Structure 1
Amino acid sequence: MNDTQVLEMVTGAMFMVGKLAGPLLISALVIGVAVSLLQTVTQIQEMTLSFVPKLVGMGAILLVGGNWMLHELTGWTMALWNSLPSLVG
């Protein structure tokens, strides 16, 4: 196993993390900005008002995209396991 192979594995892992966490983080960001704007306009400063919509939004993203996320993760894991014999040799 050389440096290039290690960097390819780490790059693939980082790309996979970004691909799986991206939709969740973007939805939390959009919902957080919308709720903050609503709180600013109405001057309602309640902590649960910002937390609950984010939780619901992220849950909806997981319900809609969870199958795709699991498929991507298992595909990447299988590719990693299949590449192990070439890394040892």
Structure 2
Amino acid sequence: MTPEMALDLFGEALFLVVILVAVIVVPSLMVGLLVSTFQAATQINEQTLSFLPRLIVTLLMIMWAGPWILGRLMDHFSNIFANIPLFLG
């Protein structure tokens, strides 16, 4: 395995991780921003009001995007396993 191949493989894996995390985290951040705006407008400083909607949105995104995430991970690892002879030779 050449250093270029290792860096390419590492780059693909890192990009995949960023995409998969963004799919889960970005909706949670948006809901957190909306709840924080609501809390600032009404001056309600309740911690559970901020935590519970973000938790629910995160869980719903995992349920909704879970099959797609699993498919992307399986594609990546099957690509790695299929190219093992190329990496070794």
TM-score, normalization by structure 1 = 0.95
The unaligned stretches of length 5 or more in structure 2 are: none
Q: How does 1:1-89 map to 2 (within 5 A)?
A: 1-89=1-89
**Superposition deviation, residue 48 in structure 1:** 1.2
Secondary structure at 2:45 match in 1: coil
Aligned length: 89
Question: Sequence identity, in percent?
Answer: 30
Question: 1:35-84: CA deviations, max 9, x gaps?
Answer: 10010011111111111111100111111111111011111111011111
**Superposition deviation, residue 9 in structure 1:** 0.7
The unaligned stretches of length 5 or more in structure 1 are: none
What is the rounded CA distance, in whole Å, between the counterparts of 2:40 and 2:56 in structure 1?
21
Aligned alpha-carbon RMSD (Å): 0.8
TM-score, normalization by structure 2 = 0.95
Structure 1 runs (4+) greater than 2 angstroms displaced: none
Question: 1:3-34: CA deviations, max 9, x gaps?
Answer: 10011111110111012111111111101100
